[in-house]
């Protein structure tokens, strides 16, 4: 995402719009509204009876969307993580919606603001919280976590093969003085890593892993996926854009298992009519940005879009 509304480039925009199959009178949720790039295009396809619910855990993104869509009665903006989707819809007295979009990961505005602490390219405080008003900062976690904990997080969330070396360097450095800035951590990681991936800063995986832990990103995603089935009406679509292999694997596994339904051993004496039907239908294959979009928006390079449709019992029985 770009650093302003005017320059904002929503990732995989047309595939998202096509995949959601937007109805003019439908109700849609952009669960990661950001600066409203996807939201604005969804709204443009809604009629007077359509509704658009925007969620974001970042208060700056919420303020930007409130300003951008001010005066449009079809739009409701809420400051909430997407794990609270079900709760937000309940407070709005909405049972079911026709579509949910989640564009995962950190946004360009967050990376561009040094004071947010997401970027290793700019000097800023080690914060990394998407909602600065909630939870523990990266600096606070790094100050208390054990060497084993740090190594595990770097390995599991960042897939960092030098996790133990980096964790040991962090613990040694903090014994002399607390780690407080992004560039301080980035330099420490670079020094601890014996070899570098071509074209990638040595701090990339470590910053990604710590950010994912601080914001509980995989837990948040798991909760969203669990709630998607209960909030989507039959025929409603779930569209998820992932930028990390762990997130994409979670989404792929959820959608594929949902499309298979309950697997019953063929030798069990259960009538077919009593076997629960598959609750989801896969919509197309995973979509990735083409060369033209990547050239226009480098952030799209690692984006993967997956879409699934919620089925009712009659649809599921025919799938």
The binding site comprises 36-38, 56, 82, 103, 110
Cβ-based neighbour number of residue 277 at 10 Å:
15
What does the block give as tokens for 10? 């929503």
| Alpha-carbon distances, residue 304 vs 41, 166, 228 (angstroms) | 19, 29, 19
Give the helix ranges, DSSP H, for the chain.
Answer: 13-20, 37-44, 59-68, 85-91, 108-112, 138-144, 147-158, 163-174, 182-192, 204-214, 217-231, 245-260, 291-296, 313-318
Count of alpha carbons within 13 Å of 201, Cβ hemisphere only? 14
- Residues belonging to the binding site for S-adenosyl-L-methionine are 36-38, 56, 82, 103, 110
Q: How many Å apart are CA 146 and CA 296, to the nearest integer? A: 42
Torsion of CA 164, 168, 174, 179, to 10 degrees: -30
Q: Answer for the pair 237, 99: CB distance below 8 angstroms, yes or no.
A: yes
Which letter does DSSP use for residue 24 in this model? T
Which letter does DSSP use for residue 216 in this model? T
What does the block give as tokens for 296? 């226009």
Pairing verdict, β 304-310 and 280-282: antiparallel
């Amino acid at each position: 995402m770009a650093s302003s509304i005017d320059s904002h480039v929503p990732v995989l925009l047309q595939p998202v719009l096509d995949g959601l199959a937007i109805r003019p009178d439908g109700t849609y949720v952009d669960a990661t509204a950001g600066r409203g790039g996807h939201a604005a295009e969804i709204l443009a396809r809604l009629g007077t009876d359509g509704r658009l619910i925007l969620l974001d855990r970042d208060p700056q993104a919420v303020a930007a969307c409130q300003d951008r869509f001010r005066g449009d009665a079809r739009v409701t903006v809420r400051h909430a993580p997407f794990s609270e989707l079900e709760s937000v819809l309940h407070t709005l007295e909405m049972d079911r919606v026709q579509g949910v979009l989640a564009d995962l990961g950190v946004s360009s505005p967050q990376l561009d603001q040094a004071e947010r602490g997401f970027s290793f390219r700019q000097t800023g405080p080690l914060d990394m919280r998407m909602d600065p008003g909630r939870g523990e900062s990266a600096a606070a976690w790094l100050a208390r976590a054990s060497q084993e904990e740090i190594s595990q997080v770097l390995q599991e969330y960042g897939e960092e093969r030098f996790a133990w070396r980096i964790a040991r360097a962090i613990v040694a450095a903090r014994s002399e003085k607390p780690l407080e800035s992004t560039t301080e951590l980035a330099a420490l990681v670079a020094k601890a890593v014996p070899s570098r991936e071509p074209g990638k800063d040595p701090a990339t995986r470590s910053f990604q892993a710590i950010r994912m832990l601080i914001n509980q990103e995989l837990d948040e995603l798991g909760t969203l996926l669990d709630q998607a089935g209960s909030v989507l009406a039959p025929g409603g679509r779930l569209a998820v854009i992932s930028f990390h292999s762990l997130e994409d694997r979670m989404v792929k596994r959820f959608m594929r298992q949902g499309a298979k339904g309950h697997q019953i051993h063929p030798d069990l004496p259960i009538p077919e009519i009593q076997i629960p039907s598959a609750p989801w239908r896969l919509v197309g294959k995973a979509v990735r940005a083409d060369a033209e979009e990547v050239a226009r928006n480098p952030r799209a390079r690692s984006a993967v879009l997956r879409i699934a449709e919620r089925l009712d019992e009659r649809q599921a029985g025919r799938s």
